[in-house]
Each structure stands twice: as C-alpha cells, then as structure tokens.
Amino acid sequence: MLHSLLVRYIYKIVPEPYMDEIFHVDQTRRYCSHNFTWNPKITTPPALYVISVPLFCGHERYANSALIPFAFVGCCQFRRLFQKNSESSLLVSLAVLLLPVLFHSSLLYYTDLLSLTTVLWALSQPPGLFPTLIFALSLCTRQTNIIWAAAYGCVHFFLLLKNEGKFTAKAVISSLLRLWSLLLLPIAFIVFYVLNDRSIVLGDHSAHRPVPHFMQIHYFFVFFIFSAAPLLGSNLKTFQSLGRLVFSPRKNFISTVLLIFCVFFFTMQHPYLLADNRHFTFYIWRRWFLRHPLCRYLTVPLYIVSLQLFRYTVSHWPRFLVLLYILGTVAVVVPVHLVEPRYFITSYVIWRLSYVDRPLTVLLLELLYEAIVNVFVLYLFLAKPFEWPHEPGVKQRFMW
C-alpha cells in the first residue's frame, strides 16, 4: 500500500517515462495494442512487459507495487533456509526491499524487482518442476539469472550425491535424472544463445559486449560495505577481523600487488559512464577516478578492507557455498563493461538474507540507515531536477 502511494506521488512529479523506462514502457504499450514488434533498444527479455499487460497498461509503474508482496514472501522463504527466527526474517526481508538501489528502481518501471523476486522464490524451493518454472520466468526477465539457476543445480546435485553415500557413475546419473527438469534450462539457454547470433543480449549488441572487467568484483565489494554499513559497523568482531588484517603484512603485500595489477589492466570506462550525468556513478568516476591517475590506486586499501569484511561475514558458510557464490557473482558482473550498481542487487541480497541473526537494535539501525539514504536519493530525484543545454525544458533527474 505504501509503495503504491509512493508510485502515485512519483507519477504526479514525473508523469512521463524516465530514462530506461522510455524503452520498457514503449514495449509494454506495444503489447497492450497487440503490436508484437520488438524495440531494438531493449536488451533484456519481455517477462515484465507480458505480465503487465492485463492490469497495468498506461500505469506500468504499479506493476512493481503488485510485485512487492511476492518479493517480501520470497525474501522470507529464502531467509528461513538459514535462520528460523520469524521476527528476524520479517525485518531482514523488509531491509532487503528497502535496499536503496532496489527500492528506487522498484518505484519506476524497471525489471530489477521481478528479477530478484523470481530468483529468490526459485532458490527457496526443493528441486522439482516448480522451481524450474520459476527460474524459466526469471530467465525471461534477465538472462544472467541462468547463473543462479546453475548454482542452485550444483548445490542440489551435490546434496543428492551426498545422500547417495557414494560417488559412482550410477549415483551421478541417478542424481541428474532427479534434476531432469532443471537440466532443460541450460539446454534452452544454449539454443537461445546460438539462435541469437551467439549473444545473450537481445536488441542492440554493440553497447553490451562481454569484456574481462575484473574490477567489477571489487566494485561489488565496495557496494557491499556501503549497503551493509550498519551491520558491519555494529559488530565488534568486524573490527577484530580488520585488526588481524593489519597484522598480516605478507598477506597485505600480496593482496596489494595483485590489486594494483588488476587496477592497471582491468579498469574500464564504458562510453555511457561519462556520457550521462544523471547517474551517481558519473560523479564518483569523474570526481575521484579521473581526478588524478593515482586516485584509482589509492582506492586499493578500500578494496582490501571490503574483501576482508566479506570474508569474515561468510566465515560460517561451507567453503563450497562460498566458492559457488563468488563464482556466481563473478560470472554475473565481470563480463559487464558498464559500472551499474543495479547489477549488484541479487548477489548482495543473497548474502544479506543468509547473514547471521543480529540484535533487534541493529536491524532497526539498518532500516533507519536505508530510510535516510532513500529519502536523500528521492529528494534529489524529485526535488532537484536540472536541464541539459541541448534539451531545454526537459527535466533530468539524479538516480543510481
């Protein structure tokens, strides 16, 4: 209810489709008019547009308001795989939905909320036809969700093997057969890839070619410590973990050398990054990374700290799950040329929902922190528009 009221207010201030909404709304309204031609500017599949047609033609932003309860339930289900405390599940799920990057995009007609919701629902289910269908819907929302479907398959494959009690050809075949519906997903994805000119991107491929952008994983860890600041800052063991880092000069030296190497060879600047001053990343890049050639290297200690904090927070995970999570996150974000915080949402949420229980005061502090950030961002978005000289009279707005 509150979400729909906020959407209504945003419609009042920003009635016309804004930024990427221009393409999403255009495609949806084509479907509403029974015009099934494809807008070549859209690079992701049409699930959101299809499910919006019955009820939200002309009012597309409300589709995300309708999705909010499903997203909340998906968060609770996934959380309870790790923590059974119902009070904790409710508050943590609320914190996830208030994650600033996700919350802002959910107030507009973007695909992030549907993508996250389908992934969480599928990951929360035992193997079978139902999670396969949910993953299929997820893939029809965002192609990279095949990574999380693969991770889910790997986890349950090894659990089935473990239950067999032996690693034999017969046990492997038996386990694969029990996951038969899930195996249809990679087969369908490969067929799509081949038929789509060996690309996972729909529409215009030119601006979305995969690159070895290894710095993305470090940007993700910085996003992680920014988003989880109340959780990390309120935990004494976090600082003890950093203390151990300070007294590990050999490890620090090796990490620093590797990161300097990574910064030198794999810092990439997508043409869109500095072509659009509506995004916060534009200002971070221009005012810090381009201030001086050394600035990108001065950020190396932050990368080391963020990685150490992440390692501490997953120290209770089985190593296999840590490896799978890292590989999944790398597979999702590293091939992406453009630095875009929205691409980090799913990886962060999976971590957040699996994080250990924190005291009620810490959870309330997290909610307050997110509320403050959201109010600030929405204030900039709604109350501080500006104009481009080459488009007088057209209001531009700040966003993630």
HSE on the CB side for 75, CA within 13 Å? 30
399: which DSSP letter?
B
pLDDT tens digits, 290-331: 999 999 999 999 999 999 899 989 988 999 999 999 999 999
Structure tokens at 261: 């190497």
| Helix then strand then coil, % of the chain, to nearest 5 | 70, 5, 30
The one-letter code for the residue type at 358 is R
pTM confidence score: 0.94
Tokens at residue 156, please? Answer: 């349950």
List of the chain residues with pLDDT < 70 = 236, 239, 241, 243, 246-247
Q: Report the sign of the C-alpha dihedral through residues 179, 126, 73, 310, in that order.
A: negative
**Residue 379 has what pLDDT?**
97
Q: For residue 155, which of 352, 333, 313, 317 has the smallest C-alpha distance?
A: 317
pLDDT for the residue numbered 265: 96
Residue-range domain boundaries for the chain? 213-358
